[in-house]
Amino acid sequence: MTDRYAVIGNPISHSKSPLIHTAFAQQTAQDIAYTALEGPLDGFAGAVYAFRDAGGRGMNVTAPFKLQAFDLATDRLERAELAGATNALKFEGDRILADNFDGVGLVNDLQRNLGVALAGKRVLLLGAGGAVRGALLPFLAEQPAELVIANRTAEKATALAAAFSRRGRITGCGLGDLAGERFDVVLNATSASLKAELPAVPASVFTGAVLAYELVYGKGLTPFLRLAQNAGVPLLADGVGMLVEQAAEAFVWWRGVRPDTGPVIARMTVPLV
């Protein structure tokens, strides 16, 4: 019997999740059907219950429902608890289990696909939204020398760092506090690139960096990546690998088998030009 899964969001027509999970299912001979579901802005819970009650086994969750999915869950795994949001649900009877694979997907892309280990590195995360919050636990587990969160509103970054301070060496600051600072790995998790804008970060942060990473994907050489390129950073990447790797983690959680992410990443990659 074919098992049903879906991604829920609003809007959702742009989602690559059906393509990714269909490719995973073909690779691993899993009998699943995966669809995109546009959830009503005022009826998220009802849409989830209806999908589950019709036989659905699990769902990916994207904007703007990650916080609502967290609240809806009956059981939250540690990554979801610490992130305060979830991007994956699994249905077991009346239980709704929640996890967050955004951070582990990002770490897997950095270390497995790009070959950049985080241990002992100075790492800069730009932004303090849900993507950053979801990344902190997996990042700190890799024991970087220091993890710095920099945000337009410094107070939000420092509060976020304080919440995770027992997990490793982490600090928060404003974007204006980065002058003269240097990092090994710099990641942009702000929304600036969605509007083709450059986050207010000095080029000096890239001095000696081995990687600049843009969490959005499919936008080519964004202003952030162009700044890094001009500063001499040797390795540039966007978030397509993160997207596929977090999907793979959800697939393993649901199906118990790990797909090969490489061919799917290659198929979806847009050249950085």
Which residues are the active-site residues?
66
Strands 211-214 and 185-188: parallel
Tokens describing residue 123: 């790492």
- Please name the residue that has the structure tokens 């690139």: 193
Torsion of CA 247, 248, 252, 253, to 10 degrees: -30
CA distance 185 to 124: 6
CA distance 157 to 175: 10
Q: What angle do CA 235, 240, 244 make, to 5 degrees?
A: 125
Q: CB of 140 within 8 A of CB of 200?
A: no
Is residue 92 helix, strand or coil? Answer: strand
Nearest alpha-carbon partner for 242 in 188, 192, 183, 171: 188
Neighbouring-strand partners of residue 58: 5, 90
CA distance 215 to 193: 9
Q: CB of 148 within 8 A of CB of 132?
A: no
List phi, psi (to 5°) of 70: -60, -45
Angle between helices 240-255 and 17-28 (to 10 degrees): 50
Q: CB of 197 within 8 A of CB of 219?
A: no
